[in-house]
Structure formats: C-alpha cells, structure tokens
Structure 1
Amino acid sequence: MAVRDIIEIPNAKLRVKYQKVEDVSTVQNLIDDMLDTLYATEDGIGLAAPQIGHADAVLVIDLSEQRNEPLVMINPEIIASEGEVMSNEGCLSVPGIYVEVKRFQRIKVRALDRDGNEFFTEREDFLAIAMQHEIDHLHGRIFTDYLSPLKREMAMKKIAKMRKQASRTAS
C-alpha cells in the first residue's frame, strides 16, 4: 500500500482520542499502510493510527526479527492488569528520546483482529509494555506524559536541539 509520514510531537493530532471502529472493512487500507510504515522504519516495533494522522482505534505491533508476524488490534481495551515494571521506552513520534516509564507487568486485552473477530490476549513483560504504549496513543497519551514536568521539559529541549541540528545538516 503506502508508507505514511509519522507525526511527531508536539503535533496536536497525537492528542486526539480514538474513534471506535464499527466496521473493520473501513480500516483495511489503513492497517496495510500502518504495517508498511512500521516496516519502513529502522527500529520501530509498534504504531498506532494517530501516529499517521488517523483517529481510528487501530494499532499494529511486530516484535519478530524478520518483521513478518504482525499483531493487529482494533478497538483494544486493557481489561485487567497486575504488577509494575520500569521500561526504557522510545517512540517513533518522539525520535531520539528514551526514558524510563512505569508500566503494568502483565495485562489482559480485549480487541478485534483484522477480520473483526473478538479475541482476548494475556501478555507480560516486553509485549505487554509495547501494547500499553500503543494503546496510550489511542487515548491521546505519549510516553513523555509519564515524566515529571522537569524531565519532560528537558526531553522537549533535547528534541528541539536535535531538530535544529538536523535542519542545519539538511541545508
């Protein structure tokens, strides 16, 4: 399909709350584009629809080395959680920034698959963290929201500095 541009902070589109998908046939091209976009990144493991400018409640994750085992979730909802773990996270919408975030260690999620079939999955550790990160995007949250105001300000300054350096290099 197509590789889309990934929206970066502080773009307001990243703060839009999701729209529940009522008919999965309406998001099939979006899913294809999301997977193409994810696979076009060097090190991305997940992508939520708001990151490419769509409010649909759709996310994709692929942790496989060959990047050929996508997990597609439509209307995902965390219905149970337990434990806590600290996770060093990055984000395609916040390039170059990695921070420690407190997440649930184990979660149970209800979602629809690409064909519209409801499924439940219980995950822990890294996949659970990735799912929480992408589900946050559907709620207009970014992992930097979990930082203290001081650390968030430092991260934003670092992003501004990196952008300024990149624009100098490009010209």
Structure 2
Amino acid sequence: MYEIRTWPDKILKQKMKEVDFFGSEKLKEYIDVMFQKMYEHEGVGLAANQIGIPYQIIVLDTTPREENEENKEGIKLALINPKIVHKEGEIESTEGCLSFPGVQITIPRAQKVVVEAKDIEGKDIQIDAEDFLAVVLQHEIDHINGIPFIKYLSPVKRKLTLEKYMKKKKELAKSK
C-alpha cells in the first residue's frame, strides 16, 4: 500500500494538507511506515506524499550508517506541518531523490535554515540547521509543497534530465 511514488505521479505535484490529528494512532502509524520505507530504500529523508500519504509530514535521519563514515553526529526527526521561516547563505547541493530513482543533480540551496514545525503530540519545535541537515530539510519540505527538486534546474537542464529519467524508467518497466 505505501510504496514509493515516482515522477510523474500527481501526488508529487500537490501541496499536502496540514495535520490536525496530533497524538493519534493514525499519525504514529504514518510516521512508523515513513521511517520504515525511508530505511528500506536507503534514504536520509522522506516526505509523506512520496508514499501516498496526503499530509505535511516529513521524516529524516542523518545518522551515519556506514562504519567508515567520519565520526559525525546525525539527527533523527519526524516533523509535522514544517515551514521554513528563515534562509541564509547559499551552497551547491548534489542531491538524489527516491521519487526520481537514478537521478543526481546539483542545485543551489540555502546554507542555513530555521524550520518551525510540530512534533507528534502537537508541541512546537524550532530547528536551526546548516549544511547537510539544512539541505535535507529544504528537499523534504519542498516535497510536501509539491515542489520537485528538478524545479531548481534551468528549463533546458530540467527538460534534458526529465527526458533521460523517463527513458530510463520505461526501460526498467520493460525489463520487469
């Protein structure tokens, strides 16, 4: 039921509904399934609409998963109704996306962001993030607002990237 939706699935192009059922079993179920699917597909973040859930929920886990990764700290979060309230600086970010398998693009992102959200119980959360965490937050919050990461490419690069992606997607479908 909760499978990764790939482009051009229409749910990836829509702004998701705000959650108003805090503390509920349904919300806990959504978050559990989201973490499960994110780990299953080796992602660092997942937006609810990427598995067909039409709400403003994102999960992320930036904890290093490989023993050989540098000793850097990570963070595991589930954010409800997240909004970016401040952006600062700019970095080039090379990103992939579970909804665009096989696509890697380099796009500009804010280096620092401040995000306001709710936790599973509806309590306010504020996150000051920079660099990798800031990029992951921007990517996932864009998803729940119906903004795919390819939007940040120039029209020509976007067209070429989508043509290449759709060709590869058709080839994979034929081989199954």
Whether 1:28 and 2:38 are equivalent positions in the alignment is: no
Equivalent position of 1:16 in the other structure: 14
Report the alpha carbon displacement of residue 166 of structure 1 after superposing the two structures with TM: 1.5
Equivalent position of 1:7 in the other structure: 5
Post-superposition Cα deviations, 1:128-150, rounded to whole Å, max 9, x if no partner, equal 00000000011100000111111
Counterpart residue type for residue 149 of structure 2: F
Q: Structure 1 residue runs of 4+, over 3 Å off? A: 66-69
Quote the Cα distance in structure 1 between the aligned partners of 2:61 and 2:86.
22
SS state at 1:74 partner: strand
Write the mapping of 1:122-137 to structure 2, written as runs, cut at 5 A. Answer: 122-137=128-143
Quote the Cα distance in structure 1 between the aligned partners of 2:56 and 2:95.
21
Larger displacement relative to structure 2 (138-147 or 63-72): 63-72
Report the alpha carbon displacement of residue 117 of structure 1 after superposing the two structures with TM: 1.6
Larger displacement relative to structure 2 (153-162 or 96-105): 153-162
Equivalent position of 1:63 in the other structure: 62
Equivalent position of 1:120 in the other structure: 126
Post-superposition Cα deviations, 1:103-159, rounded to whole Å, max 9, x if no partner, equal 110011111112322111100000000000000011100000111111111111111
Identity of aligned residues (%): 38
Larger displacement relative to structure 2 (58-67 or 99-108): 58-67
Post-superposition Cα deviations, 1:21-76, rounded to whole Å, max 9, x if no partner, equal 112224111111101100111x3110001111122110000111249952110011
Q: Which is strand-richer, 1 or 2?
A: 1
Quote the Cα distance in structure 2 between the aligned partners of 1:168 and 1:110.
44
Whether 1:84 and 2:65 are equivalent positions in the alignment is: no
Equivalent position of 1:141 in the other structure: 147
Counterpart residue type for residue 144 of structure 1: I
Quote the Cα distance in structure 2 between the aligned partners of 1:61 and 1:10.
23
Q: With the length of structure 1 as denominator, give the TM-score of the two structures.
A: 0.91
Equivalent position of 1:156 in the other structure: 162
Which stretches in structure 2 are left out of the alignment for 5+ residues? 67-73
Counterpart residue type for residue 122 of structure 1: D
Quote the Cα distance in structure 1 between the aligned partners of 2:126 and 2:169.
40
SS state at 2:160 partner: helix
Quote the Cα distance in structure 2 between the aligned partners of 1:135 and 1:163.
25
Equivalent position of 1:165 in the other structure: 171
